[in-house]
Structure 1
Amino acid sequence: MQSTSRHHLVPREEGGRYGPTIDLCQPCHSSVHRFLTNRELARLYPTVEALRAAEGLQTYLRWIKRQRVERITNRRARR
């Protein structure tokens, strides 16, 4: 079973520390932050509906729908 992590709809760094959150599987959460900046998330995608419609995520969302989430690893490179 894939673990989930809490995603702040408005990133903490952009003033969303106490704002609404959603649970995302770890690969999806990593991908959201890979394809969208915190500033974009705060200004353009502060709701679940807006995030689902984000143009930058559409290719990933189409791909992930066809995958078995238990087998996906999508870790960001350590810096």
Structure 2
Amino acid sequence: MPGPSVNLHHLVPRTYKGTETVALHRICHSKIHAVLSEKELRDHFHTIDRLRSHPEIARFIKWVARKPPTFTDRHRGGRRSR
């Protein structure tokens, strides 16, 4: 359920008519969108398992798992070059 620490993430971006959503901690949701383009999300990373398989996302999950559930931190860097 969405709330102060949780966002709904469209597995296929809404710009590509995606409707299925999953609840994610907002820091993880922000990281996904900082690392992956909407086209990459649509074409390759449209499931939780595929998102977890991305090397940078996997490292981030391992790092953030050691933080308290209320942890929020603005990750460094913006979208990578496409």
Q: Is TM (by shorter chain) over 0.5?
A: yes
Mapping of residues 36-55 of structure 1, within 5 Å: 36-55=36-55
Mapping of residues 30-69 of structure 1, within 5 Å: 30-69=30-69
Q: Any stretches of 5+ residues in structure 1 without a counterpart?
A: none
Aligned equivalents of 1:69 and 1:35: distance in 2? 22
Q: Any stretches of 5+ residues in structure 2 without a counterpart?
A: 77-82
Runs of 4+ in 1 over 3 A off after TM superposition: none
Higher helix proportion (structure 1 or 2): 1
Task: Give me the identity figure in percent.
Answer: 31
Mapping of residues 18-37 of structure 1, within 5 Å: 19-37=19-37
> Over aligned residues, Cα RMSD in angstroms?
2.3
TM-score (norm 1): 0.79
TM-score (norm 2): 0.76
